[in-house]
Structure 1
Amino acid sequence: MDRTPAAAATADDFLDRALLEEAAKKSGLLWVRADGQQQSQALWHAWYDGAVVVVGDGGEQPLHGLTAGAGAEVTVRSKDKWGRLTGWRARVSELAPQSEAWLGAVEELKGKRLNAPDTDTITERWARECRVLRLEPVGGLSEQPGAMPDGSHATAPMPSPATTRRPIPAGLPKLLFKRRRG
């Protein structure tokens, strides 16, 4: 058995790639932060031909900051614990509509798209209105079990007109209970 540093690195690379691929296949959701963006965005995806593929814009999920030729940081959660499992750098490329790679990616993505309003014509709509991006892993893992970064990575919620519940008025329970008795 070869115990040289090169052989050990190859074995580690193989295990890292296996973890990355298995985590991406099992998780229905991942977080992607495009280069130049401050916040990550949650995206549903599929694994196809050695990379994560996503469909967005048009009537689908927004793909803020993700452009062909740029990079992104991808974080994948554990399917059973829902916490961060692994993270890696990706090279973003856009698949040309109706190309062989695009058709294969779309077939995988169609199976993951829940509650589509137009399941019969979704492929045509995606070709017309959406972008299909390929996020190909580059380099090693930036996060993995036993080597997670410090800090929570929590972010402030997006602005919204929604509010949290306020305490009920002190006299309300008495009014409600009085009506039930009568």
Structure 2
Amino acid sequence: MTETVSQALLDRALIEEATKKSGLIWVQGTTGPARALWHVWHDGAACLVGAGSEGGRAAGSADEQPLHDLGLVDGGTATVTVRSKDKGGRLVAWQAEVTELAPDSEAWQAAVEDLKGKRLNAPDAETMPQRWARECRVLRLAPAAPAPARTDFGDASHAATPLPTPATTRHPVPAALPKLLRRKRTR
């Protein structure tokens, strides 16, 4: 009994410390692929803000990270994978219980205060909390109690295939480019 309790405490400490130190976490909800999202660790959970439409909220702001296709719903679950800060590889994965914080509630205001400090390059830093209340969702991802932290990922790459996109950077080399490059070398 005490061995399982101490293992649960060690798992919880690993989850908290790794998630606090990582700038990004990969979150996979009930639909769609896992997505890298910025977050803050606040009051025993990863808190994040983003644009999304679950739960009847507006489509959301294009200025924030998209949450609409992840299937993150209030009362649902998600899988969170945290990378190592120094090596960049996966360190721990854990199951999370998703809670959507109600705008302007006490919990929402406390989470937004921490999120506001971590939000980089905000176009409207002064009025950001009001915009988040109107257009975005603030989610709290708390570690599920009985689920242990997963640290063994095997030897496989687990690299995700890129999402399909019409954007491309592969074009034939312009015919004049080799001649221009030779000219620069001779100078």
**Equivalent position to 1:73, from 59, 69, 79:** 79
The structure with more radius of gyration: 1
Letter in 2 for 1:32: V
Q: What secondary structure, in the 3-state scheme, does the structure 2 residue paired with 1:140 have?
A: coil
- Supply the distance in 2 between the matched residues of 1:180 and 1:44 (Cα, whole angstroms): 44
**Equivalent position to 1:62, from 59, 63, 66:** 66
**Equivalent position to 2:142, from 111, 136, 148:** 136
Contact kept? 2:11, 2:149, Cα under 8 Å: no
Structure 1 position 10 matched with structure 2 position 14: no
Instruction: State the partner residue of 1:26.
Output: 21
Deviations 1:134-177 (A, max 9, x none): 11111333421xx2245322222122233244463677424553
Letter in 2 for 1:156: T
**Equivalent position to 1:102, from 98, 108, 118:** 108
Instruction: State the partner residue of 2:35.
Output: 41
Instruction: State the partner residue of 1:120.
Output: 126
Instruction: State the partner residue of 1:159.
Output: 164
Contact kept? 2:19, 2:82, Cα under 8 Å: yes
- Supply the distance in 1 between the matched residues of 2:91 and 2:163 (Cα, whole angstroms): 24
Q: What's the TM-score once normalised by structure 2's chain length?
A: 0.84
Unpaired runs of at least 5, structure 1:
1-5
Unpaired runs of at least 5, structure 2:
52-59
Tell which deviates more after alignment, 156-165 or 170-179.
Answer: 170-179
| CA shift in 2, pair 1:170/1:89, >3 Å | same
